[in-house]
Chain A
Amino acid sequence: MWKWLHPYANPEVSYHFTGKLIPWFIALAAIFLSVGLVWALAFAPADYQQGESFRIFYLHVPAAMFSMSIYFAMAVAAFCSLVWQLKLSDAAASAMAPVGATFTAIALITGAAWGKPMWGTWWIWDARLTSELILLFLYLGVMALHNAFEDKNLAGKAAGILTLVGSINLPIIKYSVEWWNTLHQGATVSKLGKPSMTAEMFWPFLICFLGFAFLISFIICIRFRTEILSRNSMRPWVKQLVFFATTPVSTNHAGEK
């Protein structure tokens, strides 16, 4: 397995590999999100208790799940870069932070817009909401550290340590609805194997979830390639690639010959 993975530690190989993945991610994200969101908005049944406001669920839950899983991925990348000095995993961690921050913000905002009609308040200092807000601040801190140093290795180290220390927040978010008696409802989907919702609601949710997954992969690939280019800008292959990418036709994604 290591032999198979090894070439991808080369920035040039990774750059071209992610370049090939991007069109697939765009296409899949467009298909899944358009089908899933139309299904969620117009065809899924209304909740018997929450009525049509339940349609916020199809955004809120995937966003919240991804806000945590992107952080987990970022923590793994930070760990690899701190332990094995892999420069590319530093680039990956730095590419993931703004995406995770955006999804955390989406989870918080859609949560507030759902809380107002259901709980009667936009915001409450409940364990789940507070820990999710801390997650947003962790993301912002990691992004700030990545941009705070001219030396990208130093920046990666500082941001990586903050990422790893902050990962203690993940189990707190996950189990906050079980450990504390809060206003936020318990898990609806994540009971593996037997989701406690009807198939009519589960399928649009699953499609939206996959659509967001592909969209996230697409955005992270773009950001990852940007990081690779800016960190390797003195390398001959980057100079050549940039030159050939911009001279014939100026397109957004350089690199495909």
Chain B
Amino acid sequence: MQFTSVSDFLAMGGYGFYVWLSYGVTALLLILLVVASNSQNTAVIKHILARQKRENKLRQAAVQQKQQQNQASALANNTNVEVKHVNDSNEVSP
């Protein structure tokens, strides 16, 4: 141990300001870099997930539209009342 007291340690032989400035700035920049890198990682994952959800929704909407059209056409034709139960929706749900 090179220092006898805490105030001695903080003073750094008169160079306290410069030494602590260096260590402080280094710590700050590195913490910022780690936090930024981490949050970019989560942001990308969230972005991909959001797009996936949107795609799923669009696909489901398309399937529903198809079903409604089928029903409408079935009613309009009035020949075949039984509606096909489309199983596609099961495949879509994740």
> Which residue numbers of A lie inside 8 Å of B, CB to CB?
37, 41-46, 51-53, 55-56, 59-60, 63, 98-99, 102, 105-106, 109-110, 113-114, 116-117, 215, 218-219, 222-223, 225-226, 229-230, 233, 238-239, 242-243, 245-246, 252-254
Task: Say whether A42 contacts B37, CB under 8 Å.
Answer: no
A63 in contact with B44 given A53-B12, A98-B33, A117-B18 (CB within 8 Å): no
Q: Which residues of A contact B26 (CB under 8 A)?
A: 59, 63, 106, 109-110
Task: Say whether A113 contacts B21, CB under 8 Å.
Answer: yes
Task: Say whether B33 contacts A99, CB under 8 Å.
Answer: yes
- Distance (Å) between the CB of A43 and the closest chain B CB? 6
A245 to B51, CA, bound (A): 15
A35 to B34, CA, bound (A): 20
Size of interface on B: residues with Cβ below 8 Å to A = 34
Task: Say whether A102 contacts B49, CB under 8 Å.
Answer: no
A114 in contact with B18 given A102-B33, A230-B44 (CB within 8 Å): yes
A246 to B47, CA, bound (A): 12
B78, CB-defined interface residue at 8 Å: no
A254 to B40, CA, bound (A): 12
Task: Say whether A43 contacts B25, CB under 8 Å.
Answer: no
Q: Which residues of A contact B22 (CB under 8 A)?
A: 56, 59-60, 109-110, 113-114
A102 to B22, CA, bound (A): 14
Q: Which residues of A contact B9 (CB under 8 A)?
A: 41-42
5 A-B pairs whose Cβ atoms sit less than 8 Å apart in the complex: A109-B22, A113-B18, A230-B44, A242-B45, A252-B38
> Which residue numbers of B lie inside 8 Å of A, CB to CB?
1-3, 9, 12-15, 18-19, 21-23, 25-26, 29-30, 33-34, 36-38, 40-42, 44-49, 51-52, 94
A52 in contact with B29 given A222-B38, A243-B49 (CB within 8 Å): no
A215 to B33, CA, bound (A): 11
Q: Is the interface of B mostly helix, strand, loop or mixed?
A: helix
Seed contacts A53-B15, A106-B25, A242-B45; 10 additional CB < 8 Å A-B pairs: A42-B1, A45-B2, A52-B19, A59-B22, A113-B18, A218-B34, A233-B47, A239-B52, A246-B46, A252-B41
Q: By CB atoms of chain A within 10 A, which of B21, B22, B44 has the most?
A: B22
Q: Which residues of B contact A63 (CB under 8 A)?
A: 26
Q: Which among A43, A219, A233, A238 is the interface contact of B33 at CB below 8 angstroms?
A: A219
Task: Say whether B2 contacts A238, CB under 8 Å.
Answer: no
A117 to B40, CA, bound (A): 38
Task: Say whether B94 contacts A243, CB under 8 Å.
Answer: yes
Q: Which residue of A lies closest to B51 (CB)?
A: A233
Q: Which residues of B contact A229 (CB under 8 A)?
A: 41, 44-45, 48
Q: Which residue of B lies closest to A221 (CB)?
A: B37
Q: Which residues of B contact A56 (CB under 8 A)?
A: 18-19, 22
A215 in contact with B29 given A51-B13, A52-B13, A226-B44 (CB within 8 Å): no
